Structure 1
Amino acid sequence: MRKKLIEAIKAAFLSEGYGFFQGFADKIQGSELTLPALWLTPIEVAGMSGRNDGKVTYKIVLYLFVQNEQYDEQQKEEKWEELERIARKGIATLPMISDVISTDKVTIKPDEFAFTSFGELSQTVTFLADVYFCNE
C-alpha cells in the first residue's frame, strides 16, 4: 500500500511539472534538487482499524519548492497562493488515481526560510490519507 501511495503522490505532482524527491527532511539541504520540486518524507501510519479488513490512515508530509526570483512580499504571497493551489489539486487527485478513499486534516504552510542554498520559496504540506486494506 505504501508503494502505491508514494507512486500516486508522485504522479499527482509530476503532472504539474514538479521533480520528485524523497527522504527524511534533514537530507533536503545536501540534495541535488531541480526546481520546481516536491520532496516527500517517509510516510507514517497514523492509525489503523480492523484486523483482516480495515482502514489504514497514513500521515503524509511533503514540501513544494520553487525558485525564488527575489520576489517582494506581494509576489511571494502570489507564489505561495499558486503553490497552495497546486498542493490542493494534487491532494484532490489522489482518490481518482489510487486506492486513497479520503484525505483529511490538510495543512499548507509557507516556510519562512530556505531549506537549501538555492534560496527557494517553499511550502510544507501535511495531510492524512485513508486507504482500505484486506489481509488474505
Structure 2
Amino acid sequence: MTETYSPAQTVEMSGFSLDTLRYYEKIGLIEPVRRAAGGHRRYTEDDLGWLDMLRCLRGTGMPIAQMQSFAELARDGDDTVADRLALLEEHDAAVEAELARLAEQRGKVRAKIEYYRSYLAQQRGVCEAQ
C-alpha cells in the first residue's frame, strides 16, 4: 500500500500552509485529494512531488493563472507535453529577464554601499587626524 500523509504532515513537508493547500485544491492546482474512510484528506508522494513543482513555479514568479494552465495541461496527459514545454520555456525567459533586472538593481545597491563605506572611512580618517 502506498504511504499517505495527513494535512499536518503535508504542511510540514511541503512548506505550504493548510489554507494554501485547500485553496490550491479549490482552484484546481491540485487534483482533488484522496480521503481516508473518516473523510480526512490524505496526500501521496505524487501529491508532494506536484506541490514541490508548484512551489518552484510560484517561487519563480509564475502567476496563478499560468500555473492553472500548466496544471490543466499536465492533467490532460502526454498529448500536451509540447504545450507544457512551451509554457515552461516562456516562463524561463521571464525568469531570465527578472534575473537580469535584479542583477542591474543589485549593482546600483552595491555601488551605493561602497559610496557609504568610503564616506564613513573618510569621516573616520578626518576625526582621527584632528
Q: What TM-score do you get using the length of structure 2 for normalisation?
A: 0.32
Which structure has the larger Rg over C-alpha atoms? 2
TM score, norm. by length of structure 1: 0.30
Higher-helix-fraction structure: 2
Q: When you count strand as a share of all residues, which structure comes out higher?
A: 1
Higher relative contact order (CA 8 A, sep 6+): 1
